[in-house]
Structure 1
Amino acid sequence: MDETKKLIQAVGSTLRELRKEQRLSLEELAAKTGVSKLTLGNIERGETNPTLGMLWKISNGLSVPLMSLLKPENEVNIWRAGEGPQITDEHGWSIEPLYSSSKDMIGMYRAYLMPHCTYEPEAHHSGTTEIATVMAGEVHLTIGEATYALKAFDSIQFTATDKHVYANHSGTQAIMHLTITYK
Structure 2
Amino acid sequence: MDEVDESKQLVLQIGGALKRYRKEKGMSLDDLAEITGVSKLTLGNIERGETNPTLAILWKISKGISLPLMALFKSEDPVSLYRAGEGLRFSNDQKNWMIEPVFKSNDTEMCRAYLQPHSSYHPEGHHVNTTEIATVMTGCIEIQVNGETYTLNQYDTISFRADRPHAYTNPTDNETVLHISLKYGP
TM-score by length of 1: 0.92
- The residue aligned with 2:60 is 57
Shift of 1:73: 4.1
Query: Residues of 2 paired with 1:126 and 1:40: CA distance?
Result: 23
Match status 1:142 vs 2:144? yes
Map Cα deviations across residues 75-116 of structure 1 (whole Å, 9 max, x no partner). Answer: 111222112321122241111111112xx2211111111111
Is the CA contact (8 Å cut-off) linking 2:6 and 2:87 kept in structure 1? no
Q: CA deviation at 1:39?
A: 1.2
Q: How far 1:21 sits from its partner (Å)?
A: 2.3
Shift of 1:154: 0.9
Partner of 1:165: 167
**1:123 alignment partner, SS class:** coil
Counterpart of 1:118?
120
1:55 Cα deviation from its structure 2 partner: 0.3
1:27 aligns with 2:30: yes
Q: Determine which of 21, 25, 31 is the counterpart of 1:18.
A: 21
Q: Which whole-Å deviations, capped at 9, do the CAs of 1:102-152 have from their partners, x for residues lacking one?
A: xx2211111111111111112212111111111111000111311111111
- Matched with 1:99 is 103
Is the partner of 1:84 in helix, strand or coil?
Answer: coil
Q: What letter corresponds to residue 97 of structure 2 in structure 1?
A: W
Please provide the CA RMSD for this pair.
1.5
Q: Which amino acid aligns with 1:49?
A: N
Consecutive unaligned residues of structure 2, counting only runs of 5 or more, are none
Using the TM superposition, name which of 118-127 and 148-157 deviates more: 118-127
Residue 42 of structure 1: how far off its partner (Å): 1.4
Counterpart residue identity of residue 12, structure 2: Q
1:179 aligns with 2:181: yes
Contact 1:124/1:161 (8 A) holds in 2: yes
- Which runs of at least 4 in structure 1 moved beyond 3 Å after TM superposition? none
Choose 172-181 or 87-96, whichever is displaced more: 87-96
Give the C-alpha shift of residue 17 in structure 1: 0.8
Percent of paired sites with the same residue: 50
Residue equivalent to 2:47: 44
Name the counterpart of 2:86.
83
Distance 2:84 2:95 in 1: 20
SS at match of 1:2: helix
TM-score, structure 2 as length reference: 0.91
Alignment size in residue pairs: 181
SS in 1 for 2:110: strand
**Which AA in structure 1 matches 2:140?**
E
Partner of 2:111: 109
